[in-house]
């Protein structure tokens, strides 16, 4: 018995074969017309199952919990920047070199809502610097990698 995909393939020239994978039958209850997938060569056509990716997180929840606990232990610790870094986002001190400055880790942003995210600079470190003409120290936050600072006692 011919399926709709086979009947369509038989009626068209081989260069214009259109097919539906069997698990992806066209939806007829909607008012939109079903659009078949064009296949250039019917002999090399493969069938793909219609599946929806529900999650792209491949790490287990126990690994994430361990990472969150390790990061929580580091929050509040004093650190000193060891890498030569220049930041330009501090308005009162443009082109500021962070090398040698001391600050406090305020947040770890590598895990968000229980899922690992691709933060390439996961530690938010708060710094305070004295700026000429300012009565109080200027506070600012900068994102750093763990290999760009050292922990202080």
Using DSSP's 3-state secondary structure scheme, residue 110 falls into coil
pLDDT tens sequence across 116-149: 888 899 999 999 999 888 899 999 999 999 999 9
Q: What is the pLDDT of residue 116?
A: 85
pLDDT tens sequence across 52-62: 555 555 557 78
When the candidates are 3.90.45.10, 1.10.287.370, 3.90.550.10, 2.30.30.50, the CATH number that belongs to 61-151 is 2.30.30.50
Query: What pTM value is reported for the model?
Result: 0.59
CA angle 67, 124, 132 (to 5 degrees): 160
CA angle 90, 102, 132 (to 5 degrees): 45
Which sequence spans correspond to the domains of the chain?
A: 4-44, 61-151
Strands 18-19, 37-38: pairing kind:
antiparallel
pLDDT, averaged across the chain: 77
Helix (DSSP H) and strand (DSSP E) numbers for the chain = 2, 11
pLDDT tens sequence across 71-106: 889 999 999 999 999 999 988 888 899 999 999 999
Strands 102-108, 123-129: pairing kind:
antiparallel
Q: What is the pLDDT of residue 23?
A: 54
Element (H, E) at 106: strand 102-108
């Amino acid at each position: 018995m011919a399926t709709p995909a086979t009947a369509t393939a038989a009626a068209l020239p081989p260069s214009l074969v259109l097919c539906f994978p069997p698990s992806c039958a066209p939806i007829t209850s909607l008012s939109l017309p079903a659009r078949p997938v064009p296949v250039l060569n019917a002999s090399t056509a493969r069938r793909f199952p219609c599946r929806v990716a529900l999650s792209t997180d491949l790490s287990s929840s126990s690994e994430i919990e361990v990472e969150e606990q390790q990061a929580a232990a580091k929050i509040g610790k004093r650190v000193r920047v060891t890498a030569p870094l220049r930041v330009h986002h501090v308005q009162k001190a443009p082109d500021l070199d962070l090398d040698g400055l001391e600050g406090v880790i305020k947040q770890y942003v590598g895990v968000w809502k229980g899922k690992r995210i691709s933060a390439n600079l996961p530690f938010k470190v708060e710094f305070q610097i004295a700026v000429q003409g300012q009565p109080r120290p200027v506070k600012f936050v900068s994102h750093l990698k763990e290999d760009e600072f050292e922990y202080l006692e």
